Structure 1
Amino acid sequence: MRSLSLHAARTTVASALLATVFLAPPASASAAAAAPVCNGSTAPTFGTASPYTSLNNAFTTYGNSNARLDDWTGADSTYSVKLPDGRTVFGFSDTFLGEVNDGRRPLTIADGGTTPFPNNTFVVRSTSGAMTTAHGGTVANPTALLPPRAPSHVYWAADMTMNGGELQQPYREYWIRGAWDVKFTKNVLARFSTSNLNQPVSVTDLPSSRQIMWGSALLKDGGYTYIYGTEDLGTAGKHLYIARVSGTDLRGTWTYLTSSGDFDSTSEAAAVRVLSGVSNEFSVSKRGNFYILLTQDTKDAFSTEIDTYLSCSPAGPFTDEKTVYRTPETGAGNPNIYTYNAHAHASMTTSNNIVVSYNVNSLDTTEGTENDNYKNVSIYRPRFINLPVSG
């Protein structure tokens, strides 16, 4: 099934790496260098993370109770942004829509329904907690918000931000050349009116000459919007790059962090690596005088570690790596299950708690309804955790 191949290819380089999946050991902090001191402030400390039960239950209830062809039953990426009217928009990449029957996703009408599979969607949560799905096309024929320009291409979501009253979201385009052959092609920016989230106002190209997937994380700080990107070199690792734009409109002029340590070039070719071991999706947030980079560790294949790094600047250097959570789903009872692309949600974070999501998927290549992601709807859904923070 194409859907499963896409997800496996996002996070791994070959099915042979499945042998590295292991049961998650108990959570504990990893050894790290001394934390930075920023403007005389001591570093924040993290408590013991735990499942965000009410939010997990809200998505479970919504995903299981759907009775329409265009309703969300599961997805990955899981970015979010708060709209001016108080609604929260969750941005997803590959998405299962349709009905759920006895905890399963049906493939065809003969199975009791059908399961559309657009490559990007929104779930909009109202201030009362009610959820709806935003997609392209129609109720009878739902499509992606950004339909692919060719059958073998997809647009996968990156981080989200508000520019005044409009929602802006970068997307990464990929060319699916085979089950384990996915090639990044370019970055684009979609702009959405908050009054119509089912169709972008415009889609424009973003810098893409370096094969850097921009938009892994976005951060507004000091009159700039910082744009973090990932260079995915497969077995050669994943590396962080940083650009920024003045103001909040990502269509502005980008400048890049260069070897000088400053954002002094408008040429993407001048951008330099800042950190290795990040994921294709992560987050950067500000707390007091500190900047917290949170990512799923990718230095080891199928890692269960969700790690934090600290910096005194949005441009790094990011140091003091700590493991703040280990995902319990990886390999637990099923060696095909893995987790990936953790990030924090500024839209829900408070003064003493960071809300974090990560994705769960399966490497099962079984065709038909006995595939893991069809026979068990709970697998292919985000998980949310609460990460206590102080200082």
Structure 2
Amino acid sequence: MAEDVIREGYYVIIRRTHERESSRLIKAEMDKPVFLGKQKIHLNNIFGQRFGTTFEWNRNRDLDVVNVQQLANTSLDLPQLSAPSGDNKDKDNRFIIDDGKSQKLSKDDIEVLKSELSSSEVIENLVKNCSTFEQKTSFAQQKYLKKKQKKYSNLVTILRPNVRLLAEMYFSRGPQKIDYLRIDSLSQMLSLCNVMSGRRYIVLDTNLGILTAAVVERLGSSGTVIQVYTDPGPVSTYRQSVDALNLPKETIANMLFGLQINEIYRLSQSNSLPEMSDQSCGQQSGDKSEKTVESEKLIRRAIRHKEALKALEILAQKDMDGLLLLSKTYDPLNIVLLLLDFLADSRPFAIFSPYMEPLSHCYSELKKKAVFLRLTETWLRKYQVLSDRSRPDMSMSPSSGYLLTGIKVNNNIIQC
């Protein structure tokens, strides 16, 4: 398990403290600034601190540690927010006109305040110079403060990446990056495939490796994952989510093995392990920099070749404990039929797609190879739960896609 202290070279999730949707995954390096929105931030002061620490950037864009308890005690003292609910009877937002003239401070005045005062002091000045603030109900006042905190707060929190945070971050920044796989659908796949430590699984996901990372995280340090990819070679981001977990390299090398789909097909067509050409040897030419780059490429090829050989040895036993497949770029039927042969009998599988049609085709074809087939739509709606104002989120997509699950059995059993 990765340690709880931030080190140079670790992947971290940096997020505005008052804005959950602003999360960003970065690799923390000394003297290498990053951009969070339009703000340029230096990360040199985060090393040696614990994950979950809150920082505030100063005028030099350096991050200073913030005492969260002290910050909460020195928050804005607004009597309106603590007043009894009966005091709001005479207040009515209907008579407040949003004409842009309620704020007495100009844009230039606010920029001067931002350069001279802390974020909390800037928000306090905005409240004092808002002519309609006292006319608002307590609910409207809190909404106003939260809006200003998102815009003017200089607080950021450094989080340790895990699958839940990564899935939520990728989905909020662009769900197509992870094939529209939401965290609730991901959790269902792990549960229905009975993913647990010490078992062996086949995983195919085409983007960012979020499904592979979820299986690796649940296995801990004991188990095997065969990561199947359909491209001629692994793309640069096919293990981005796995790398973000900051697991020891030895752990990853002992449990995660990549394999191209064509090699699996060759294995299924023969009774012995197919021969693979070792591409790790070659001639180096050119200047010193070119030799260095070529040497790094050869090392990566040698590692991939070793992984592929190990993966073929494991698959040849045909006793894998589960199959998890995620792809929206092609009809998964042929791939599923190929990979199911390497599962042991009575082992589960789960296939996710944002579209129902390819899974419907799989459902009808897999009746010959599986039982307990179920095609379901994953549906979830978030609710805001607050006093006197609990309600569903106003804008969200309740549907996350479709899941086809089942259990592989021997064909002879089905025919009987």
TM-score range, shorter chain: under 0.3
Greater helix content: 2
Q: Which has the higher contact order (CA 8 A, sep 6+)?
A: 1
Rg comparison, structure with higher value: 2
| TM-score normalized by the length of structure 2 | 0.22
